[in-house]
Chain A
């Protein structure tokens, strides 16, 4: 039996501290492991999707310390001590109450296949955390890195503009 002390990191994911050892064993987070891999494969938080795996499509967007972050291009070890928010974390686990953005997406059907949706909602969330009433251009700029092959951009922009206006 081995007794060596392992290095570890702690990530706060959706409000819960998660501790991972770092190393080369299967149970360890490897230094080369991406945040997307850790979220999806170790925590079964599969909302954030990997589509291009190269930082081009935005499907893997989560929020790290308040910033929209491409989890496919972020190393897990870099997130030590940080707060990670994923789409799963927007829903109140007890009451099932949704974030207003989620509710607006449902009410306006701002998606088709929904594969890009987790990344799109988290990009919008990060924007609204800083800027609750963005202009249409600011919103489009923020979403410039989110592909949607079904072509739901139009509904997304309408939905978010409507929602932020309603709230204003």
Chain B
């Protein structure tokens, strides 16, 4: 291969290093108005009336939109009504010449609320007589909101799990509570909207992971044809799931404001607004795991209880991520069952979050695995090596054959890199010279790498132009991991032109549908489509060239911008000459690719091994060493795989050690630290030097383009449990809740000491 697998320069590198990259927040147009929103002071209320008459008189104030205008329109998979359902939800929007004017105008708006009793956490929502967030009931199901009396959101079983667990030689159980996390993308959920009455097109820029979902929501809500709405997401300043299938109400309202004022409108949330755009909500997971004396897993039972927020959004998918991605997938077991609850609450949206549910679900699971290994008397890594699935094993709910081939090898490589054999000890077994306790942990995490065909297909078009250059159209977003560059590499490789001959149109609904940039699925969904489109274009180039070169098609190849005879490479012509030949002018190749989970189940994989030091005087946990490894089938570009593996230093390590949302459940579920100084994300000072070079294993995936498989989403997910287990190894305390901030750790250490001294 000439281009796939090479460490090429990212196509956006210069733009990002010079500031030329225009993110949504950077877009300015002549006559552009600023949109601002009045936000609800209640967690649940009906909007009785909105009076904007005083504000309308202000010069420079152009238009209003409010909740009552949205009744009957759809977003987050819900049909909106006259109620707002969480503290801080947008109630009234205004478009004005400046931000100050917009804010002044909102002060003059009168809203009459009828306050309703709401539910803020799992326990209060899951009661039979609880106030209902939506009329159907508080339990999310695939069929919609359903009453608590109808039972859980989903359940699944293979074999007879309870019986298997009872009969097994060893069993363990644990319940773990995980906390709320901000996504913390540095670019907020911003948008611009402008209605072109001449072309009858609404053009929007959205800081989005999925322009097609936005397009659908906005077109249907505004009663426009799908293609009368063009959504562009060029440069996106991070997303981590929060911008996937998340058509914020503010986007709809900005679009309506643009239509009403006939002026371009921009919306840029402040950080306090951004933080409540989407959350990783708290959840509780219960596990029972059982194995025989030889360490063979016999049964896995999992229960998940999730807070789902005010909207349907992706809460069922997220619950599936918490359950089916973990229990029937992480380890081989003949008997597995899972049951999950996701309940509506009067809290902000439950959005996707890197490690789509399995990040949280995997924490308690890995703790249970660690406990089980200890119970049997087996080294935890040995236990993993014995039980992780291998290629062809049935995984997940559909029990499709796993195509990820190098799980054991990656676990082993990470264990070797951290020198597991030499360093692992019994819990509490090693004191460092400075008095702190040493601990070590290793875990794996697996996510998806495709989306099933009922969710989306990958589509792409490749156009070969007269000068031999190529443009690829594939509407997928690139939120930072470098998908657009991967598309460029794959297109260059499949057509047979130099890397620099290819330009990419990404993040735009004018290009063929690719689905959202989620679930590490871009490499396979869009990548395969681009490869097929490139192959199609190459076939057509050869077809024309065969006539021109008077050579049978099967004797020709396209390489580095030339069509040549395989036998006699001197006999050749440039691709440009083929395209310029009479009757051609352009060659267009198309690609469409889809798959179901039953056909094949490619799973992304990340393994994390780490060492910690725990200070028993202060409760402070310090990471000493961390190894991240992946089997990504084939790295399209190793630098970018390494970059994604390093991503663990923010959302993964931060989740366990420093990040926490302070939620006031007595005051409408108001979050008290909606800013970036009370909410502590790791910086360069915190953990940089502990990270070892990423381990990249390449066991080609039969499903992926050139064997490649995405891995970015899993990058955080093995770190949290690895740290939890390392802390157990250090001090012998099994934590049943996150985060492990100093105060909580110290409290647990003191409690243990007290117990031991009695």
A-to-B contact residues, CB < 8 Å: 26, 40-41, 44-57, 59, 86-88, 90-91, 98, 102-103, 105-107, 109, 111-118, 121, 136, 139-141, 143-157
Which one of A45, A49, A112, A143 contacts B643 once the chains associate, using CB atoms below 8 Å? A112
Task: Give the distance to chain A from B657, nearest Cβ to Cβ, in Å.
Answer: 14
Determine whether the beta carbon of A109 is less than 8 Å from that of B18. Answer: no
Q: List chain B residues, Cβ under 8 A from A49.
A: 23, 25-26, 186-187, 237
User: What 10 pairs across the A-B complex have the smallest Cβ distances?
Assistant: A47-B19, A113-B480, A115-B237, A114-B16, A112-B480, A46-B26, A151-B647, A151-B650, A56-B676, A56-B677
Determine whether the beta carbon of B684 is less than 8 Å from that of A53. Answer: no
Q: List chain B residues, Cβ under 8 A from A103.
A: 17
17 A-B residue pairings within 8 Å (CB atoms): A26-B98, A54-B676, A56-B675, A59-B186, A105-B13, A113-B238, A115-B238, A136-B689, A141-B685, A148-B683, A150-B480, A150-B643, A151-B648, A151-B649, A153-B646, A153-B683, A155-B646
Task: Give the distance to chain B from A18, nearest Cβ to Cβ, in Å.
Answer: 17
Asked if A88 meets B19 with Cβ closer than 8 Å, knowing A56-B675, A153-B688, the reply is yes
Determine whether the beta carbon of A114 is less than 8 Å from that of B481. Answer: no
Determine whether the beta carbon of B683 is less than 8 Å from that of A105. Answer: no
Determine whether the beta carbon of A149 is less than 8 Å from that of B683. Answer: no
Cα(A103)–Cα(B16), bound, Å: 11
Cα(A142)–Cα(B72), bound, Å: 52
Specify the main secondary structure of chain B where it touches its partner. Answer: loop
Cβ-closest chain B residue relative to A109: B639
Within 8 A of A (CB), among B464-515: 479-482
Q: List chain B residues, Cβ under 8 A from A91.
A: 18
Task: Give the distance to chain A from B691, nearest Cβ to Cβ, in Å.
Answer: 5
Determine whether the beta carbon of A54 is less than 8 Å from that of B675. Answer: yes
Cα(A157)–Cα(B649), bound, Å: 13
Task: Give the distance to chain A from B680, nearest Cβ to Cβ, in Å.
Answer: 10
Q: List chain B residues, Cβ under 8 A from A152.
A: 643, 646-647
Determine whether the beta carbon of B676 is less than 8 Å from that of A57. Answer: yes
Q: List chain B residues, Cβ under 8 A from A116.
A: 186
Q: Is B444 an interface residue (CB 8 A)?
A: no
Which one of A45, A53, A112, A139 contacts B481 once the chains associate, using CB atoms below 8 Å? A112
Task: Give the distance to chain A from B34, nearest Cβ to Cβ, in Å.
Answer: 10
Question: Contacts A51-B188, A102-B17 given; 11 further ones with Cβ under 8 A?
Answer: A44-B28, A107-B9, A109-B13, A140-B688, A148-B650, A148-B684, A149-B240, A153-B646, A153-B684, A155-B643, A157-B689
Cα(A49)–Cα(B24), bound, Å: 11
Q: List chain A residues, Cβ under 8 A from B647.
A: 112, 150-152
Q: Is B235 an interface residue (CB 8 A)?
A: yes
Q: List chain B residues, Cβ under 8 A from A50.
A: 25
Determine whether the beta carbon of A144 is less than 8 Å from that of B237. Answer: no
Determine whether the beta carbon of A114 is less than 8 Å from that of B648. Answer: no
Cα(A53)–Cα(B99), bound, Å: 14
Cα(A51)–Cα(B238), bound, Å: 12
Cα(A1)–Cα(B315), bound, Å: 60
Cβ-closest chain B residue relative to A59: B186
Most buried by B among A115, A139, A144: A115
Cβ-closest chain A residue relative to B34: A41
Cα(A90)–Cα(B691), bound, Å: 31
Task: Give the distance to chain A from B688, nearest Cβ to Cβ, in Å.
Answer: 5
Within 8 A of A (CB), among B661-681: 675-677, 681
Which one of B18, B644, B648, B683 contacts A98 once the chains associate, using CB atoms below 8 Å? B18
Cα(A60)–Cα(B676), bound, Å: 14
Which one of A48, A114, A121, A154 contacts B12 once the chains associate, using CB atoms below 8 Å? A114
